[in-house]
Amino acid sequence: MDKQGEAYWKATLGLLTKILAVWFIVSFGAGILFADMLNGIHLGGYPLGFWFAQQGSMYIFVALIFYYAKKMDQIDRKFDVHEE
């Protein structure tokens, strides 16, 4: 792979790492590992840990995919590998 290609792949992996970190924190972190702790805080009638497990993580997943699609478009263009 040429330099340009390597840089493109590195940028892609960087973006994936960032998004997967958030993916992990909201579901496995806030929804499972730290749910008990967060349940002390309330979001309306929702204990916060419960909310992350049964509502919040799903909203954030949706946002993550659209963010990914948008950022990838920018990376594609920056490295000039976008589709015509």
Partner 1 sequence: MDLQTTIYLVVGLSFALYIGIAIWARAGSTSEFYVAGGGVGPRINGMATAADWMSAASFISMAGLISNMGYGGGLFLMGWTGGYVLLALLLAPYLRKFGKFTVPQFIGDRYYSQTASTVAVLCLLVASLTYIIGQMTGVGVAFSRFLGVSNDVGIYVGMGIVFTYAVFGGMKGITYTQVAQYVVLIFAYTIPAIFISMQLTGNPIPQLGLGSSLTGQDISLLQKLDQVVVDLGFGQYTTTTAGSTLNMFVYTLSLMIGTAGLPHVIMRFFTVPSVHAARLSAGWALVFIAILYTTAPAVAAMAKTNLIRTLTPGVVMQNADPYAAESQIKYDERPDWMKRWEVTGLLKFEDKNADGRIQYYNDKSKSEEFKAKAEAAGWKGNELTVNADIIVLANPEIALLPNWVIALVAAGGLAAALSTAAGLLLAISSAISHDLVKGVFNPNISEKGELMAGKIAMAVSIVVAGYLGLNPPGFAAGTVALAFGIAASSLFPAIMMGIFSKKMNKEGAIAGMLSGLFITLFYVFAHKGIFFIKGTEYLDLIGGANPFFGITPEAFGAIGALVNFTMAFLVDKFTKEPPEHIQHLVESVRTPRGAKAVDGRHA
Q: In the complex, which residues of this chain contact partner 1 (CB under 8 A)?
A: 1, 5, 8-9, 12, 16, 19-20, 23, 27-28, 31-33, 35-36, 39, 43-47, 49-51, 53-55, 57-59, 61-62, 64-66, 68-69, 72-73, 76, 81-84
The torsion of the CA quartet 46, 48, 50, 55, rounded to 10 degrees, works out to 80
CB of 80 to partner 1, least distance (A): 8
- Max distance between CA atoms of the chain, in angstroms, equals 55
45 and 51 Cβ atoms separated by less than 8 Å:
no
For the CB of residue 22, give the shortest distance to partner 1 in the complex, in Å.
9
